[in-house]
Structure 1
Amino acid sequence: MNPESQLRPYPTRRTLLRTAVTAAVAVPALAGCVTSSSDSPSAVSEGAEKTADNPLGVKADAPLEVVVFKGGYGDDYAVQAEKAYTGKYPQAKVDHKGLQKVGEAMQPRFVAGTPPDVVDNTGAGRLDIATLVGASQVNDLADLLDAPSLDQPGKKVRDTLLPGVVEDGTFAGRTVALNFTYTVWGVWYSKSFFASRGWTFPTSWAEMLTLSAEIRKAGVAPWTYQGKYPEYINDPLLSMAAKAGGTDLIKAVDNLQPGAWKQEGLVQAATAFAELAGRGFLMSGSEALSHTEAQAAWCQRKAAFIPCGSWLESEQKGVAPAGFDMVMGAVPALGPGKLPVSAVQAASSESFLVPAKAKNAAGGKEYLRLLFSKGSATAFAKANSTLPSVAGATDGLTLSSGLGSVRDAVTAAGTDTFTYRFRTWYAPLAKAVDDATGELVNKRLSPADWSTRIQKAADALAKDSTITKYER
């Protein structure tokens, strides 16, 4: 794997858990020192009059400071938006900082009340957004969302974003962050390998089991997964449950409702993956493999399917052989459910915010209007083979097989995208689910015991008054 990819901000389940835990460690220091924006005078500069050409009231000569996480995507895309900003406001001086440890660098500045105007709050050790929200340290972006799109006439910024992007950055009814990239989870396979064997990607779980038996007869393991990080195989299990039970099932889980993990859709999905393991359809030794090892074995055609998010193609550059043509399919459904087979689990990432005490908050929001333009997002997609959160950004582009399949999956899903939020809200529960699923697919835990074990962890969390609770 390219060493740079280890800094990649893709929200793998491994990374989300790690960053959630890291952020939680930093919370006490931040919460203890950061004051509410109403507690001390702000150095925010006055903006200009709002007009059709200047909908956010940017003061033309006000300096702008932008801090960007410089990970796997680099920061060229952010610099290009800064050039667009100075092209529109030539009197403004832009101070750009590309960092890898955003939280470490920004925490003292938030504490001191001197944050930059825009922060890409991404990467391991990022600032805990819930703490910032609780301390009134982030701007409400409603006026940005309601501003006209830069290059899509007749549309507001909010109307140009893919489903769920606004909700992903919303806390207690206020949208305080906008996420620039869009990640989709599914089941991956080699289009060329399947074509050579006459195999067709299944849409139902019954078809998946039938095909898996055929694949095993051909001397290939039907599935592998990133065994050291069982959150990867949680994704298709939870996706299958969501298709069965719909948004009510997801909300019950995220809202820590009593008996949420006992819901029929979840038990059925757990039973399905227990059967996958019980029938020997998981590649032997998968439990001991890291993400790189499992993905490499899959690229060597030792296994036909692997669960992963839409960063997989980029992560496997230099590993997948020429002509492998990896593509992602939506998780097969157990049967008729509350969501269609085409529904996919998706969430946005690469989180940008405008601090409440930014000296040039209007400029920070205008910068985001430029960054989230269709032209900017299209250029990002070309450079990074990654789906941006701006709808239509990849239209007309010649896409790689993987990115093309992700775009097609999002198009097919339409408004039927979904995401669970318990993982980023409650790291201990996320770990409990991961551990239980690891035991489930290694035949050490029954589906009923899987459900009971996780429900016990969820109930304990719900009763813990020291943990802030969220609701959707």
Structure 2
Amino acid sequence: MGLTRRGLMTVAGAGTVGGTLLGGCAMGGGNDDSDSAEGDVNTANPLGVKEDAPLEVVIFNGGFGEEYAKAHEAMYKERYPKAEIKHSATQKIQEAMQPRFVAGDVPDVLNNSGGFQIDFNGLVSQGSLADLGPLLDAPTLDDPKVKVRDTLQPGIVEMGTYDGRFLSLNYAYSAYGIWYSAKLFADKGWQYPRTWDAMIALCKQIKAAGIAPWTYPGVHARYMSWPILAAAGKLGGLDVLKAIDNLEPNAWKHEAVRTAADAFYQLAADGLVQPGAEGMDHIQAQTEWSRGKAAFYSSGSWLENEQKAVTPPDFRMAVSPVPSLSTGDRLPFEAIRGAGSEPFVVPAKAKNLRGGLEYLRVMLSKRGASDFTTRVNSLTSVRGATSSTPAPGLTSVTKLLDAAGTNTFTWLYNSYYRKLEREFVNAACADMFAKRINAQQFVDRCQQAADEIARDSSVKKYKRA
């Protein structure tokens, strides 16, 4: 569980950093960065990095590992050979970083990700994060005439913006969908279903063949909320998702959400879910899927890298959109959820704030982005950056995004109000797929939780346009 807003009320000396890059001026809003290392601003050094200032980078050691970060650090070192770089990685970001935010002894770059990340709502409301706006307006390392912001995937700036300030760079770009083995489907003569009726019919065939149609991580059951909301957004339109983001009354009770929840509840009600999935975490469920014990699994495009150690060589991971619920869906079958993940931040009290921004600029170069994609088989927030040796899953993801075109979408409530997804929606999903509640009770519980957050004056609210 992330640090709560009340917990962050104790963070000492959390200043804000805003404004734009101007010559030798401070990059701060109300407070300047006079305590942070500062070098000369020029064409070769647009962010004013002090060339010999130490840089500390803390990475979440999750599905992507940490080797990609070491490569980015080496690229930074090439540009600033006098800079000493301190690297560390952990899965328990909150445990490692919360005391340091309290003490004001923060790293220069933090990959605030994973199940034990620090709550963004708290970090934002306490002014603990630097404004990354100067990074967006800086020229890319590849072309001085192109700004960094003009190279980013759709939605990346929106997803990382709070109260008009860009505070979080979601570096990885994840396409979400339903995953399966292309080899299994080819061997069995199965075709991925484009409609929900076809999905249920195929699931019955799969079950008859002795394979569980679906599996899911019951411990992290929110994974199944992703296809539910994707189906709801495709059925009812994107305003359905924006209403959820904005904590609007009865947003979760919209007919499109209830219809989508009812469709997925059918999987549990008809016995189309792997027995025992209720007690699995994501690694256990994914491993069952990789071993051919189940046909379908809901996840994002980090899945291939996370499963590379246990996936058979000829498995041929593939991903497709959530099936359409009706012929009247507002968005086409090809529409998918595409969103940034792996959030990187620069703490406002960083000793080398400008170096932190520069490190992100290195990450967002074509070289930095392509190296990441090649290493971990996942796309980045940089458009057009590809792998030199794409694996089957990554190839499928690329085709998925190409087919979706402009019909990519996402939701932000899980970034704005992490507790709502990680606790309340997760618990409601767990109960629904265990058949302890039905679809109507699922949406009622999600709405009740959203209403509680909306009424809680201690929780900072955000408005999505």
Contact 2:218/2:281 (<8 A) preserved:
yes
Contact 1:66/1:94 (<8 A) preserved:
no
Contact 1:345/1:417 (<8 A) preserved:
yes
- What is residue 94 of structure 1 aligned with on the other side? 84
Please point out which of 298, 305, 309 is paired with 1:318: 309
Q: Following the alignment from structure 1 to structure 2, what is the Cα–Cα distance between the partners of residues 180 and 393? A: 12
Q: Is 2:22 the partner of 1:31?
A: no
Q: Is 2:117 the partner of 1:139?
A: no
Q: 1:409 to 1:133 in 2, by over 3 A?
A: same
Q: Which runs of 5+ in 1 are unaligned?
A: 1-20
Q: Following the alignment from structure 2 to structure 1, what is the Cα–Cα distance between the partners of residues 83 and 167? A: 25
Q: Following the alignment from structure 2 to structure 1, what is the Cα–Cα distance between the partners of residues 99 and 289? A: 44
Secondary structure in 1 matching 2:367: helix
- What is residue 11 of structure 1 aligned with on the other side? none
- How far 1:104 sits from its partner (Å)? 4.1
Q: Is 2:2 the partner of 1:22?
A: yes
Please point out which of 178, 182, 192 is paired with 1:201: 192
Contact 2:6/2:458 (<8 A) preserved:
no
Query: CA-atom RMSD, angstroms?
Result: 2.6
Please point out which of 58, 76, 81 is paired with 1:67: 58
Secondary structure in 2 matching 1:328: strand
- How far 1:273 sits from its partner (Å)? 1.5
What amino acid does structure 1 have at the position aligned with 2:86?
H
Q: Which runs of 5+ in 2 are unaligned?
A: 16-29
Contact 2:218/2:277 (<8 A) preserved:
yes
Contact 1:138/1:353 (<8 A) preserved:
yes
Q: Following the alignment from structure 2 to structure 1, what is the Cα–Cα distance between the partners of residues 443 and 331? A: 22
Question: So what's the TM-score if we normalise by structure 1?
Answer: 0.86
Q: 1:228 to 1:120 in 2, by over 3 A?
A: closer
Q: Following the alignment from structure 2 to structure 1, what is the Cα–Cα distance between the partners of residues 222 and 355? A: 39
Q: 1:73 to 1:447 in 2, by over 3 A?
A: closer
- What is residue 320 of structure 2 aligned with on the other side? 329
Q: Following the alignment from structure 2 to structure 1, what is the Cα–Cα distance between the partners of residues 357 and 217? A: 39
- How far 1:105 sits from its partner (Å)? 4.3
Q: 1:449 to 1:115 in 2, by over 3 A?
A: closer
Q: Following the alignment from structure 1 to structure 2, what is the Cα–Cα distance between the partners of residues 29 and 280? A: 42
Secondary structure in 2 matching 1:73: coil
Q: 1:229 to 1:371 in 2, by over 3 A?
A: closer
Q: 1:98 to 1:253 in 2, by over 3 A?
A: same
- Correspondence list, 1:4-15, <5 A: none
Secondary structure in 2 matching 1:32: coil
- What is residue 349 of structure 1 aligned with on the other side? 341
Q: Following the alignment from structure 2 to structure 1, what is the Cα–Cα distance between the partners of residues 124 and 461? A: 14
Contact 2:10/2:102 (<8 A) preserved:
no
Please point out which of 203, 214, 223 is paired with 1:212: 203
Q: Following the alignment from structure 2 to structure 1, what is the Cα–Cα distance between the partners of residues 267 and 63? A: 34
Q: Following the alignment from structure 1 to structure 2, what is the Cα–Cα distance between the partners of residues 288 and 110? A: 35
Q: Is 2:42 the partner of 1:50?
A: yes
- What is residue 431 of structure 2 aligned with on the other side? 439
Aligned length: 447
Q: Following the alignment from structure 1 to structure 2, what is the Cα–Cα distance between the partners of residues 220 and 41? A: 59
Q: Is 2:393 the partner of 1:402?
A: yes
- What is residue 355 of structure 2 aligned with on the other side? 363
Bigger drift between 254-263 and 349-358 goes to: 349-358
- What is residue 268 of structure 2 aligned with on the other side? 277
Render the CA deviation track for 1:235-281: whole Å, top value 9, x for unaligned: 21111111112221011112111111121110110121223333332
Contact 1:35/1:135 (<8 A) preserved:
no
Question: So what's the TM-score if we normalise by structure 2?
Answer: 0.87
- How far 1:310 sits from its partner (Å)? 2.0
- What is residue 111 of structure 2 aligned with on the other side? 120
Bigger drift between 274-283 and 385-394 goes to: 274-283
Q: Following the alignment from structure 1 to structure 2, what is the Cα–Cα distance between the partners of residues 73 and 466? A: 34
- What is residue 447 of structure 2 aligned with on the other side? 455
- Correspondence list, 1:147-162, <5 A: 147-152=138-143, 154-162=145-153
Q: Following the alignment from structure 1 to structure 2, what is the Cα–Cα distance between the partners of residues 405 and 365? A: 32
Q: Following the alignment from structure 1 to structure 2, what is the Cα–Cα distance between the partners of residues 167 and 194? A: 37
Q: 1:360 to 1:434 in 2, by over 3 A?
A: closer
- What is residue 297 of structure 1 aligned with on the other side? 288
Q: 1:190 to 1:340 in 2, by over 3 A?
A: same
Render the CA deviation track for 1:30-52: whole Å, top value 9, x for unaligned: 4223224257984124431332x
Q: Is 2:161 the partner of 1:183?
A: no
Please point out which of 254, 269, 279 is paired with 1:263: 254
Q: Following the alignment from structure 1 to structure 2, what is the Cα–Cα distance between the partners of residues 463 and 48? A: 48
Secondary structure in 2 matching 1:98: strand
Q: 1:300 to 1:115 in 2, by over 3 A?
A: closer
What amino acid does structure 2 have at the position aligned with 1:34?
A
Secondary structure in 2 matching 1:50: coil
Contact 1:231/1:434 (<8 A) preserved:
yes
Render the CA deviation track for 1:175-204: whole Å, top value 9, x for unaligned: 012122122221111101111111111111
Q: Following the alignment from structure 2 to structure 1, what is the Cα–Cα distance between the partners of residues 11 and 434? A: 45
- How far 1:72 sits from its partner (Å)? 4.7
Q: Following the alignment from structure 2 to structure 1, what is the Cα–Cα distance between the partners of residues 207 and 70? A: 50
Bigger drift between 364-373 and 41-50 goes to: 41-50
- How far 1:374 sits from its partner (Å)? 1.2
What amino acid does structure 1 have at the position aligned with 2:47?
L
Contact 1:82/1:94 (<8 A) preserved:
no
Q: Following the alignment from structure 1 to structure 2, what is the Cα–Cα distance between the partners of residues 216 and 144? A: 51
Render the CA deviation track for 1:442-467: whole Å, top value 9, x for unaligned: 44433333322322222232222233
Q: 1:211 to 1:152 in 2, by over 3 A?
A: farther
- How far 1:112 sits from its partner (Å)? 4.2
What amino acid does structure 2 have at the position aligned with 1:383?
R
Contact 1:34/1:135 (<8 A) preserved:
no
- What is residue 218 of structure 2 aligned with on the other side? 227
- What is residue 22 of structure 2 aligned with on the other side? none
- How far 1:290 sits from its partner (Å)? 3.6
What amino acid does structure 2 have at the position aligned with 1:164?
G
